[in-house]
């Protein structure tokens, strides 16, 4: 998906490298304390083409934050390295910092300052001129629906407002590469989908995004590619669709109008050769299917037999199913994960 039309810049090999992968993890390992412990991150490698979104997905304690911290120069890798916008996190940490933005898992804005003051303070640290900073600040406050709250102290903000301010602040330097550690954790569904829209807008303008999430739906909505980690290891990667296909075949789901037809419908569905599961209470039958052809065949049989159908559809495994297949536990099962 990399933009090959880089023009005259492509004469510089360094730039071409940077264009191929905006973010690259190269065998990253992080071991905390005792060597007896399993490393928190254990040989993680991946590459993110410019202008795309990588979703780093995994349950609590999988190593997502540690990976992001190594890639953003906040903690040194035990071994391996990472490149951000073409710069090496070990050899060129200052260059890495100049080309990236980070929104951590915990909001870092100053509680005692107003939203606008936070922006002025951080923008000042970046060395943005006051006049430019005020214009940019207004624009970001507007973009994140914080204009009305701009002059209130952050302490009075809701969780969603804080996260939006945090993100606005991390965009002050217009970094080409942005790392977001669980950007929507704790947000209500509406704030979450508003934030997704903002993120889509940034990516449309060419920003490369790495976001960690425990929400499979979030990865599904935003990510071009997904890397699933569990206990420090990559256990799967691919596009959302590829991962769903890995989890198995689609299912054909039929709801009959009258429970008396369940048995007849079961026989019909069974003619595809698939095992049929019946949920009598819901008047629903489920069977694995090969796609649209199976659905059309079954729909015709049902019509010809005169069985009234309330609903018929094909459902692909969700990313939740994928996660269950890969890790043996659902993302929410954080209690059991440590067990
Ligand atoms: N500073 C530290 N010292 C010791 N162990 C740590 C430290 N930071 C993280 N760990 C351990 O490393 C592992 C990975 O933690 P990490 O915070 O990277 O997970 P995560 O995927 O971000 O989880 P969550 O979804 O809960 O944010 C965990 O077992 C954690 O306890
Ligand atoms: Mg984390």
Q: pLDDT by residue (tens digit) across 228-256? A: 999 999 999 999 888 877 777 788 999 99
For the 7-245 domain, the top CATH level (class) is alpha beta
Minimal-distance CA residue to ligand 1 atom 16: 63
Ligand with an atom nearest the CA of residue 214: 1
Q: 116 and 150 in contact (C-beta within 8 Å)?
A: yes
Q: How confident is the model at residue 26 (pLDDT cuts 50, 70, 90)?
A: very high
The residue whose CA has the least distance to atom 1 of ligand 1 is 32
The secondary element (H helix, E strand) that includes residue 2 is: none
> Contact 128/140 with Cβ under 8 angstroms?
no
Q: Looking at the predicted structure, is the pLDDT value of residue 183 above 70?
A: yes
Residues 6+ apart with CB under 8 A from 338: 61
Of 26 and 330, the one with more pLDDT: 26
**Model confidence at 285: pLDDT above 70:** yes
Length of the chain: 339
State how far Cα 28 lies from the chain centre: 20
| pLDDT of 35 higher than 90 | no
Ligand nearest the Cα atom of residue 31: 1
- Ligand 1 pocket, residue 334 CB under 6 Å: no
Percent with pLDDT over 90 in the chain: 53
DSSP 153: B
Q: Which residue of 64, 218, 228 sits with most ligand 1 atoms within 8 Å of its CB, as the best mutation to test the pocket?
A: 64
- Of all ligands present, the nearest one to the C-alpha of 332 is 1
Q: What is the spatial distance between Cα 161 and Cα 158, in angstroms, rounded to a whole number?
A: 5
What average pLDDT does the structure give for the chain? 85
Closest to 65 (Cα-Cα) out of 119, 28, 18:
28
Q: What is the pLDDT of residue 69?
A: 96
Q: pLDDT digits over 136-175, tens only?
A: 999 999 988 899 999 999 999 988 888 889 888 988 888 8
pLDDT for residue 337: 33
Q: Measured from the CB, is residue 40 less than 6 Å from ligand 1? A: yes
Between CA 272 and CA 8 the distance in angstroms is: 58
Q: Give pLDDT, residue 293.
A: 87
Sheet holding 284-289, edge to edge: 276-279, 284-289, 250-256, 309-315
Q: Residue 227: its pLDDT value, please? A: 95
Confidence check: pLDDT of 178 > 90: yes
Expressed in angstroms and rounded, the spacing between residue 268 Cα and the centre of ligand 2 is 48
Residues at Cβ < 5 Å from ligand 2 ion: 64-65, 105
Give residues with Cβ within 8 angstroms of 15, minimum separation 6. Answer: 6, 9, 86
User: If you classify domain 249-316 with CATH, what class do you get?
Assistant: alpha beta
For 80-121, write each residue's pLDDT tens digit.
999 999 999 999 999 999 899 888 777 678 899 999 999 999
- Res 219 pLDDT > 70: yes
Asked if residue 61 has its Cβ within 6 Å of ligand 1, the reply is yes
Q: Which helix (H) or strand (E) holds 119?
A: helix 115-125
Quick one: which atom of ligand 1 is closest to the CA of 30? 12
Q: Given this model, what pLDDT does residue 226 score?
A: 95
Average pLDDT over residues 7-18: 37
DSSP letter string, 205-270: TT-EEEEEES-HHHHHHH-SEEEEEETTEEEEEE-HHHHHHHT--EEEEEEESSGGGHHHHHHHHH
Domains 7-245 and 249-316 share a fold: no
Mean pLDDT (whole number) for 37-47: 93
Is the CB–ligand 1 distance for residue 214 below 6 Å? Answer: yes
pLDDT of 75 above 90: yes
DSSP string for 312-325 = EEEEPPPHHHHHHH
Residue ranges of domains in the chain: 7-245, 249-316
Neighbours of 139 (CB within 10 A): 12
């Amino acid at each position: 998906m990399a933009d090959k039309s880089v023009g005259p810049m492509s004469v510089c090999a360094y730039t071409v490298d940077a264009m191929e992968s905006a973010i690259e993890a190269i065998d990253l390992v992080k071991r905390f304390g005792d060597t007896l412990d399993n490393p928190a991150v254990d040989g993680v490698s991946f590459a993110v083409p410019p202008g795309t979104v990588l979703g780093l997905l995994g349950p609590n304690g999988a190593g997502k934050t540690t990976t992001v911290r190594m890639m953003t120069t906040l903690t040194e890798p035990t071994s391996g390295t990472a490149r951000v916008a073409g710069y090496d996190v070990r050899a060129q940490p200052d260059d890495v910092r100049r080309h990236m933005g980070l929104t951590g898992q915990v909001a870092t804005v100053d509680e005692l300052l107003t939203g606008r003051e936070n922006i002025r303070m951080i923008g000042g640290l970046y060395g943005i001129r006051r006049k430019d900073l005020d214009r940019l600040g207004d624009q970001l406050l507007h973009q994140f629906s914080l204009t009305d709250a701009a002059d209130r102290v952050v302490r009075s903000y809701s969780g969603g407002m804080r996260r939006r301010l945090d993100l606005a602040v991390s965009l002050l330097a217009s970094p080409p590469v942005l790392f977001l550690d669980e950007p929507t954790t704790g947000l209500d569904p509406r704030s979450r989908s508003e934030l997704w829209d903002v993120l889509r807008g940034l990516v449309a303008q060419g920003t490369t995004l790495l976001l960690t999430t425990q929400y499979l739906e979030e990865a599904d909505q935003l990510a071009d590619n997904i890397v699933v980690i569990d206990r420090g290891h990559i256990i799967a990667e691919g596009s959302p669709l590829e991962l769903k296909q890995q989890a198995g075949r689609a299912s054909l789901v039929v709801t009959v109008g009258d429970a008396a037809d369940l048995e007849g419908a079961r026989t019909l569905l069974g003619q595809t050769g698939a095992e049929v599961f019946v949920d009598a209470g819901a008047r629903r039958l489920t069977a694995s299917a090969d796609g649209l052809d199976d659905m059309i065949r079954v729909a015709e049989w049902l019509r010809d037999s005169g069985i009234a159908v309330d609903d018929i559809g094909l459902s692909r495994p969700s990313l939740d199913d994928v996660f269950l297949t890969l890790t043996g536990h659902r993302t929410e099962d954080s209690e059991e994960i440590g067990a």
